[in-house]
């Protein structure tokens, strides 16, 4: 009963839980071993397991940690002394009689049976005091999980999420390797000498950079050994919202026995993390140093270094090149579309291409350089037959920032040719550097991409839940897109499922009926189909989670799957079909929509509806209760939608209204409590029109 009450409290507070997984330390393990990891996150109380997409990596022990509170002197000194005496196998001091200001904590109660990770947390709490200005709530909630990795697990990157009944977090990479695992030494109190971990190649080194820390390792190398140290740091957490600069910037340094620098590496223009390669100049024990480039640090500055001999494994650059006839670049060459020109731009040089065009013809010029791992920062210039500059493009920064890229260095031009004649296309590098490139000269090929967020959708059974869909349009694409959902036997799209032509961001409603059994997450596939002059285009949505960089930019970190999980009903639901999928409202007019809600608490009181990202010209009144059927628990509601007189005449948008309400419950001991919830309405297409007088 108590558990049910707690769960009820949890689910009634909000529609979606949106737990957050901040970091995993260590960020990987060895196949065939069990690794104890510390996880930092926020709002993950409903989680009790992990999701990795494979049954070869599973949790065998899940322990939510209650952080050790601030301890006053007598208690802190007692436990410091307790651990010190225990370490030296000396008699344990008795507890002082006066314990008025002593605080309770599970780890203190179980001080003799703590795991290494727990002991590390306790020692830090006893000996260090965190700077209150440096505490980040997004990684404050700790969880310790023992993860068993099956011996036959394929080495590579897996994505780990925390999950529970109806809750699932964002994914964070978790790496599986075959080399021996080395871990930075945990916190050492003053009476224990800090030892520097030593290893030989190959190895996987795991560490965490805390404020101002430089981690040190000893690695034994033989003269002439070609070795690599490939660090993954920003890879695990591409952006830190409350950090400036907004991500971990690791630096790797290798020093010889005399302390002389042998090699140093940091991120490059293309790689987000450093790769240090070198040939050992002599036999010896070298020092490998890891730090943040600005000597910052916090718990989610987690890294893992793949250390080995020979050539470092290359990360594949994921960018599909268009399937077009290819030509190798020759200076001053004349081409006819479509063509994909390939070449290497020499330092300080420019690519010079000629082509003929007719008046009114639309041409597309696009470079592929940074996207294929080249350092080029291209700039495209199109010159008219009379030699005048017709168009220029440097970067193509999209409206939706997806992935790790922050500089969209490739160029794109779409130009309607003004006259018939011979045109000249010039491509240069902004920094006059050399690099490989592909240059597409083509007609426009309208296309689109879909991005859905969040990647872990938590819905309430018997209700609809909103996800956000971004539509990234290319080369003049402006057709409606019909959405479809697959992968679930029960969950389905509800409300409006058509992306109107002008829309680039819209809510997407997914309805989960109340008869689902079990809580296992399911992988959804969202597709969009559009008709273009090239035929039907079908594109599948990429799932992503928002992440902020440096308090300033919102990026979307792509996830391997679009997961869905659901929990029980909460008070109040609206069945699919209760509202029209589409309404047309003249400018300056209103529209009253009547619908029925089920299982709404009898004393529910609505407040002003919430309309995320709604335009200023769209308003909605607080819903009114029209009638109540207490026997069937059906409430009829009406809501009035207003379109301002100055609204655009042909607006076509999609909105999913949230109707917040509060109600009062009375417990058995007659204590009343006000609770809050919201009634989610399915996504609705709203069109405006101008009435001619």
Partner 1 sequence: MGLRRLGSPFFLLTLLFSGLSAGCSTPALPLNERLNRVWHEAEIETARPRTISDAHFLRRLYLDLTGLPPKPEVILQFLKDKDPEKRIKMVDKLLVSDEFAVYQAHLWGDELRIKAEFPINLWPNAVQKYSRYIYETIRDNVPYDRFARELLTSSGSNFRIPAANFFRAAADRSPKGLAQVTSQTFFGKPLSAWSVREQEQFIPFFTCIGYKSSKEWKEEFVFFKSPAPGSEMITAAVPGRRKVEIPAGTDPRKILADEIIASEPFAEAMVCRAWRRLFGREPVTPELSVLRREMAGRFRAGGFDLRQLYREILLSPAYSLPPGTPEEEKVFAAYPIRRLNAEQISDRLSMFLRKPFESYSSVIPEPFTFLPPGTRASAIEDGSISSPFLDLMGKPPRDSGAPEERKDVITGKQKLFLLNSGKLYRELQQAQKHYLRQKNDNLKKRVIRLYLAALARPVTPQELAFLEKKYKSTPPKLRGRFYTDLLWALVNSNEFIYQY
- Contacts with partner 1 by CB under 8 A lie at 131, 133-134, 211-212, 214, 242-246, 249, 268-269, 293-298, 377, 383, 387-389, 394-395, 397, 401, 406-408, 430-433, 549-550, 552-553, 555
| Least distance from partner 1 to the Cβ atom of residue 295, Å | 5
212 or 310: CB nearest partner 1? 212
390 or 651: CB nearest partner 1? 390
Q: How far is CA 653 from CA 448, 504, 639, in A?
A: 18, 10, 18
Pick the closest to residue 565 from 469, 465, 496, 666 (CA basis).
465
| Least distance from partner 1 to the Cβ atom of residue 215, Å | 12
287 or 549: CB nearest partner 1? 549
| Least distance from partner 1 to the Cβ atom of residue 277, Å | 18
Residue 470 β-bridge partners: 451, 505
Preceding peptide of 338 cis, ω within 30°: yes
31 or 289: CB nearest partner 1? 289
341 and 442 Cβ atoms separated by less than 8 Å = no
23 or 606: CB nearest partner 1? 23
| Least distance from partner 1 to the Cβ atom of residue 676, Å | 33
| Least distance from partner 1 to the Cβ atom of residue 397, Å | 6
Kindly write down the DSSP assignment for every residue of 251-284, as one continuous string: EEEEE-TTS-EEEEE---SS-SS-EEEEE-SSSE
350 or 628: CB nearest partner 1? 350
In this structure, what are the phi and psi dihedrals at residue 621, rounded to the nearest 5 degrees?
-80, 165
Q: How many CB atoms lie within 10 A of CB 680?
A: 26
431 or 645: CB nearest partner 1? 431
Q: How far apart are CA 218 and CA 215, in angstroms?
A: 10
| Least distance from partner 1 to the Cβ atom of residue 411, Å | 13
Residue 556 β-bridge partners: 402, 546
283 or 399: CB nearest partner 1? 399
Dihedral angle at the C-alpha atoms of 69, 74, 80, 83, nearest 10 degrees?
Answer: -100
What pairing do the DSSP bridges indicate for beta strands 535-540 and 492-494?
unpaired
| Least distance from partner 1 to the Cβ atom of residue 631, Å | 57
Q: Which residues contact 56 (CB under 8 A, 6 or more apart)?
A: 149, 150, 152, 153
| Least distance from partner 1 to the Cβ atom of residue 401, Å | 6
| Least distance from partner 1 to the Cβ atom of residue 214, Å | 6
416 or 554: CB nearest partner 1? 554
Q: How far apart are CA 672 and CA 666, in angstroms?
A: 4
Q: Which residues contact 325 (CB under 8 A, 6 or more apart)?
A: 338, 339, 340
Q: How far is CA 471 from CA 493, 541, 581, in A?
A: 17, 9, 20
Residues making up the chain, counted from first to last? 693
377 or 561: CB nearest partner 1? 377
* HEC assignment per residue over 541-609: CEEEEEEEECCCEEEEEECCCEEEEEECCCCCECCCCCCCCEEEEECCCEEEEEEEEECCCCCCEECCC
| Least distance from partner 1 to the Cβ atom of residue 419, Å | 17
């Amino acid at each position: 009963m108590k558990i049910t009450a707690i769960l009820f409290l949890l689910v009634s507070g909000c529609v979606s839980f949106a737990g957050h997984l901040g970091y995993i330390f260590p960020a990987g393990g060895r196949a065939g071993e069990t690794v104890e990891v510390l996880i930092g996150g926020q709002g993950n109380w409903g989680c009790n397991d992990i999701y990795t997409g494979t049954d070869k990596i599973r949790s065998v022990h899940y322990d939510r940690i209650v952080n050790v509170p601030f301890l006053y002197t007598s208690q802190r000194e007692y436990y410091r002394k307790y651990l010190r005496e225990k370490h030296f196998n000396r008699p344990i001091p008795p507890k002082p009689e006066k314990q008025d200001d002593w605080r309770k904590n599970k780890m203190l109660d179980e001080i003799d049976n703590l795991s290494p990770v727990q002991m590390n947390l306790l020692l830090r709490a006893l000996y260090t005091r965190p700077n209150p200005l440096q505490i980040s709530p997004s990684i404050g909630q700790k969880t310790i999980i023992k993860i068993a990795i099956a011996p036959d697990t394929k080495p590579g990157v897996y994505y780990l999420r925390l999950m529970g009944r109806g809750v699932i977090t964002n994914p964070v990479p978790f790496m599986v390797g075959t080399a021996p695992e080395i871990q930075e030494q945990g916190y050492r109190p003053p009476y224990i000498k800090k030892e520097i971990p030593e290893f030989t190649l190959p190895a996987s080194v795991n560490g965490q950079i805390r404020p101002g820390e430089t981690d040190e390792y000893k690695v034994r190398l033989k003269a002439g050994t070609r070795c690599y140290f490939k660090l993954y740091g920003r890879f695990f957490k591409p952006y830190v919202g409350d950090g400036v600069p907004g991500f971990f910037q690791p630096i790797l340094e290798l020093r010889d026995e005399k302390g002389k620098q042998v090699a140093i590496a940091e991120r490059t223009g293309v790689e987000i993390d450093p790769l240090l390669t070198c040939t050992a100049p002599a036999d010896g024990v070298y020092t490998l140093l890891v730090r943040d480039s600005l000597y910052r640090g916090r718990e989610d500055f987690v890294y893992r270094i793949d250390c080995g001999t020979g050539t470092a494994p290359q990360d594949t650059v994921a960018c599909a090149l268009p399937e077009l006839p290819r030509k190798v670049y020759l200076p001053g060459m004349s081409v006819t579309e479509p063509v994909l020109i390939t070449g290497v731009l020499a330092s300080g040089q420019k690519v010079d291409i000629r082509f003929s065009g007719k008046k009114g013809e639309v041409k597309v010029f696009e470079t592929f350089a940074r996207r294929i791992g080249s350092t080029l920062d291209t700039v495209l210039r199109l010159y008219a037959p009379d030699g005048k500059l017709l168009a220029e493009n440097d970067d193509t920064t999209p409206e939706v920032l997806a992935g790790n890229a922050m500089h969209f260095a490739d160029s794109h031009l779409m130009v309607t040719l003004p006259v018939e004649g011979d045109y000249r296309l010039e491509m240069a590098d902004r920094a006059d550097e050399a690099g490989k490139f592909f240059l597409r000269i083509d007609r426009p090929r309208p296309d689109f991409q879909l991005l859905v967020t969040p990647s872990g959708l938590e819905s309430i059974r018997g209700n609809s839940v909103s996800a956000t869909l971004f539509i990234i349009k290319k080369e003049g694409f402006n057709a409606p897109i019909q959405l479809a959902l697959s992968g679930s036997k029960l969950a389905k799209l509800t409300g409006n499922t058509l992306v109107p032509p002008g829309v680039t961001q819209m809510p997407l409603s997914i309805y989960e009926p109340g008869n689902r059994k079990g809580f296992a997450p399911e992988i959804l596939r969202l597709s969009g189909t559009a008709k273009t002059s090239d035929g039907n285009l079908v594109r599948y949505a990429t799932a992503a989670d928002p992440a902020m960089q440096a308090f300033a930019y919102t990026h979307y970190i792509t996830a391997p799957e679009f997961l869905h999980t659901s929990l029980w009903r909460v008070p109040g639901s609206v069945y699919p079909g209760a509202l029209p999928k589409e309404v047309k409202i003249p400018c300056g007019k209103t529209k009253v929509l009547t619908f029925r809600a089920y299982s709404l608490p009898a004393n529910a009181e609505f407040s002003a509806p919430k309309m995320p990202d709604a335009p200023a010209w769209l308003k909605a009144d607080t819903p009114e209760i029209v009638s109540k059927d207490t026997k069937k628990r059906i409430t009829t509601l009406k809501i009035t939608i207003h379109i301002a007189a100055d609204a655009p005449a042909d607006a076509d948008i999609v909105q999913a209204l949230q109707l917040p309400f509060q109600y009062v419950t009375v417990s058995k001991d007659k204590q009343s409590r006000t609770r809050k919830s919201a009634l989610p309405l399915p996504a609705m297409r709203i069109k405006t029109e101008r009435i001619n007088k």
